[in-house]
Chains A and B, each alone.
Chain A
Amino acid sequence: MSAVQLQRLVVRMLHDPQLVAAVYESPETALADEEVTATERTWILAQDRRRFTADPLRPRRVLKGLLDEYKGSAALLVGATRRVASLDRFFASTAFHAAIRQRRALAPAFGDYLATEGAALDPRIAAVARLEQAFSRARRGRAPSTARLAPVAADAVVMTAPHLGPVRVPGGTLAVLQAVEQVLFEISLTPVAALAEDGPTLAAVPALAGDDELYLAVGDGKGAVTLEPCAPLLLESLLVAVEPVDAGRLAWNRPDDWVSRLVNDRLVVVAAR
């Protein structure tokens, strides 16, 4: 339905001033890949463009919710760039626009954005973003029922249980996140200290070091998440199945009843095709 895509285009324009400028200054180019009709394009262009920017804090309100889940990596990004604009740029990013186009949650997209933006600046940004992304996944999902299930057919489609966030991160990532959270906590005690030259800084946050860390974030269905170490074989399977995958692929090179055991242990669920 083009009305659906038109609505999503409006949402994107309300959050991305760069897109607004592009649409009004070069509509043919800016709208070339949009799934909207020529008539719908005229409806957009007939609007006073100031209507799209009349609420300049709209993106910041969305950002507030995202920052609750990505405190560590966002702090590291701003620490590296010294610019809050590095967070605002999320709304001009491919990650944001794709999420809106495809009706997906913004939290995973924000994690992808932070990891991408931080890659060239500081390896700790991407590492912490991936860890926080795993927490974010686990926080939202509900554990599957406890019923014991029959063996899983080889042609079934399975995926990692929604209350789990498997993740492999560089050594030292958890220590980095904990150190950043400590700095943010100190700032929260005296917020004005963030404006001072002698206020808390990220200078003492450690570097990444050592072997990779393997974790499983586990949600309780009520918003709380715990982090557990995860065995390599199990983690590899859970990472493969974060997106739906054929049970046969998950079972490859594993014990015969591997997938059934994962399902019965509520680590993996049978997904609808």
Chain B
Amino acid sequence: MSFLTRVKKLPRLGLGVSTEYGVGGAGVLDPLELRRLHPTYGGFLEVGVEAAKGLDANARAWLTRRWPTTYHFLDINLDEPEEFDPHWLGEVRALVHELRPAWLCGDAGLWHLGPRDRGHMLLLPPILTHESIGPMAAGIARLREETGREVLPENPPGPLFLGDLHLLDFFGRLAEAADTGLLLDCAHLAIYQQQQGHDPLTALDGLPLDRVVELHVAGAMVRNHEGLEIVEDDHTPEPLPATWEIYEHVAARAPNLKAVVFECEKNSLEPCLPGFARIAAGWRRA
């Protein structure tokens, strides 16, 4: 069964928020409170997971209520077969069993330099060439088979991008090679387009929007490094104008869009509310 058929069975999760291990505490957005006060903004929780760390108290508190989740991996380089060691797979399957996520998703790039090990974590985009697609597609298919869940690759941010393909051409071809859907991160894409000197919507016309299942929206900060403008994906509550332009364009055109995450997990609730409202409005207009 092809992905474009399988996608019809995926649940529509609506708007949600992300979390990672240890994020929380006084002054920081509480996903349970978000769902209680603004149910349409807290439709699901996207749980960032390093298998070695497992789930924190916030994630477990959400799970006890059996509310929807997605599993966002933070610890696999999809294109490296050595990554799929039995111990890690066992941990992931156990977490999938506990989280009951609608799907798995995560940045398709380099999560750690070398083998999975303490201190090795970083996040780099893949080399954007045809040569890189096959191994990554194989990894996506393998993870889907091992977990029994769809695996949606996400376009990562990066300090630089190398290759002869536009990021969206790469991910479009990747999704087709792996027969999977996509998580399009609008903020990461905005960073890429700015770095490359493109307009925000460049190459979106070539992306198979019927494979876009999830979108991310997040704030960013612009800083100066020795005269060079650098855009940092810092998950503050105010997305760049380019991020909004990308989001509102895609939300109106992606027929299989099931979920949108506002990545604002490290902020207090009030400053995030305008962002949630705008995301909701943009989706309603679709």
Residues of A participating in the B interface, judged by any CB pair closer than 8 Å:
1-3, 6-8, 10-11, 14, 39-40, 43-44, 47-48, 50-55, 58, 61-62, 64-66, 68, 99-100, 103-107, 140, 142
Contacts and interface: CB of A to CB of B under 8 A. Distances in A.
Contact of A3 (B115, B124, B131): B131
A1 B131 contact: yes
Interface in B203-234: 225-228, 230
B160 A52 contact: yes
B119 interface: yes
Contacts of B119: 61-62, 64-66, 68, 106-107
B114 A104 contact: yes
Given A3-B131, A50-B228, A54-B230, A40 B117 contact: no
Given A51-B228, A66-B119, A106 B114 contact: yes
B124 A10 contact: yes
A105 B115 contact: yes
A61 B117 CA distance: 14
Given A51-B160, A100-B114, 9 more contacts: A1-B131, A1-B135, A47-B160, A52-B159, A52-B160, A61-B119, A103-B80, A106-B114, A107-B117
Task: State the majority secondary structure of interface residues on B.
Answer: loop
A102 B129 CA distance: 22
B53 to A, nearest CB: 12
Given A10-B124, A11-B124, A100-B113, A3 B226 contact: no
Interface string B68-109: 000000000000101000010000000000000000000000
A40 B119 CA distance: 28
A106 B159 contact: no
A48 B161 CA distance: 11
B118 A99 contact: no
Interface string B122-137: 1010110101100100
A117 B248 CA distance: 55
Interface in B118-171: 118-120, 122, 124, 126-127, 129, 131-132, 135, 159-160, 162-164
A204 to B, nearest CB: 31
A99 to B, nearest CB: 7
A156 to B, nearest CB: 21
Nearest to B120: A106
B225 A44 contact: no
A142 B160 contact: no
- Of all A-B residue pairs in the complex, the 5 with the closest CB atoms, nearest first, are A65-B119, A3-B127, A50-B228, A54-B225, A51-B160
A3 B130 CA distance: 10
Given A3-B127, A3-B132, A65-B119, A103 B114 contact: yes
A135 to B, nearest CB: 13
Contacts of A40: 162
Contact of A68 (B82, B118, B124, B159): B118
Given A50-B226, A54-B230, A6 B160 contact: no
- Output the residue of A7, A53, A62, A142 with the most chain B CB within 10 A: A7
B228 A48 contact: yes
Contacts of A100: 113-114
B186 interface: no
B183 interface: no
A61 B122 CA distance: 10
A10 to B, nearest CB: 7
A65 B117 CA distance: 10
B52 to A, nearest CB: 10
B257 interface: no
A63 to B, nearest CB: 8
15 contacts: A3-B129, A3-B132, A14-B124, A39-B164, A43-B163, A50-B227, A50-B228, A52-B160, A53-B225, A54-B228, A65-B118, A106-B119, A107-B118, A107-B119, A142-B87
Contacts of B80: 103
